[in-house]
Amino acid sequence: MAVAASRVATRRPARTRPRLPEQVAWLTPLLVIATLFFLWPVVNVIRLAFTDTTLLRDGYSYTLQTFSQTLTDPSLPQVLGVTAIFVGASVAGQLLFGLAIALILQRAVARRLHGAVLVRSVVLSAWVMPGILIGVIWQIVLNEGPFGLVNSALAAVGLGPVAFLSDTDLAVASAVTANIWRGTAFTMLLLYAALQTVNDELLDAAKVDGAGRMRTLWHVTLPQIRPVLLVNAILITIATLNTFDMILALTGGGPAQATEVLALRTYNSVFVNFNLASGCVFAVFLLGASLLLTVIYRRILREDDE
């Protein structure tokens, strides 16, 4: 008791609110870095979205025309729809497969099975590869020529060829598959770490109460790792929204515009059309979508805490 009291006594001065000059000294570097490298570029992108600036002209004037042209572009609903499907399906797939692999790995480690580290390393190798390389690899895998790996295998059993990349619907599914393959390792890594924090006593209690594996997973394990799941969902949603390199290498956005997601449209606006203002409008859409989804996830997280 005396020891505890003395600890409280020694901690108390540290809890007093720092004086204003100290607060400023601590926060200034952070504020400077955040303003220079995050806030200023964001403000600039929003500002340029209301101009007619191009990559080829120095001057520009402020106008709402770029916004109105972009919003009335007949292909915009297609681009937004493909982006929603690509992001939604990729996030769901990555969460599902990431969790499944993390659970399998956890059981493998608990049973001291050989190869768990190898499996983890193999899955991680997909995550460390550049997006362009992943696009090229999946193009070889899904190529519709006689040399495409999947179509060759199908041909060997008298099936196919399947138009993985030239059919407008299947091309989106192929891009989602490649992105799930790429991002699953990140989810696996986070969830595997989260699974280590699940209280064993709770799992044992569920077992004693006669709960099966699925009920234990649903009612005990998932609620325990819910905060990590949500943070993970935020991170992979933002990463997927910003993905364009892999799609550029896999389909280039085609056939026609079937796989042209918002990030790729932004890139094309700036570097193909030289239309910096329109690229900024699309970037604002991307920023808005990321912020909106982050707010939704955070609200769910806060409700969870309460």
The CB-of-214 to another protein minimum distance in angstroms stands at 41
Which one of the spans 79-87, 204-212, 249-257, 284-292 is the region binding another protein (CB under 8 A)? 249-257
Instruction: For residue 131, state whether it binds another protein (rule: CB under 8 A).
Output: no
Instruction: For residue 224, state whether it binds another protein (rule: CB under 8 A).
Output: no
Candidates 46, 67, 69, 126: give the one binding another protein (CB under 8 A): 69
Which one of the spans 107-115, 202-210, 247-255, 285-293 is the region binding another protein (CB under 8 A)? 247-255
Contacts 24+ apart (CB under 8 A), 107-110: none
Which one of the spans 86-94, 109-117, 145-153, 211-219 is the region binding another protein (CB under 8 A)? 145-153
Instruction: For residue 256, state whether it binds another protein (rule: CB under 8 A).
Output: yes
d(CA 264, CA 250): 12
DSSP label of 302: H
Which of left, alpha, beta for 57 (phi over 0: left; psi -120 to 50: alpha)?
beta
| Contact by Cβ (8 Å): 259, 270 | no
Instruction: For residue 121, state whether it binds another protein (rule: CB under 8 A).
Output: no
Candidates 39, 140, 153, 222: give the one binding another protein (CB under 8 A): 140
Closer CB to another protein, 244 or 297, in the complex:
244
Between the alpha carbon of residue 124 and those of residues 47, 99, 136, the distances in Å are 39, 14, 18
End-to-end CA distance of the chain: 32
d(CA 77, CA 124): 35
Closer CB to another protein, 108 or 136, in the complex:
136
Between the alpha carbon of residue 171 and those of residues 138, 190, 250, 280, 284, the distances in Å are 12, 29, 9, 27, 26
Closer CB to another protein, 63 or 290, in the complex:
63
Size of the site for another protein (CB under 8 A): 44
Instruction: For residue 136, state whether it binds another protein (rule: CB under 8 A).
Output: yes
Residue type at position 15: R
Q: Which residues contact 101 (CB under 8 A, 6 or more apart)?
A: 119, 123, 184, 188
Candidates 124, 126, 160, 168: give the one binding another protein (CB under 8 A): 168
Binding site for another protein (CB under 8 A): 52, 54-57, 66, 69, 73-75, 132-133, 136, 139-140, 143-147, 163, 165-168, 249, 251-258, 267-268, 270-275, 277-278
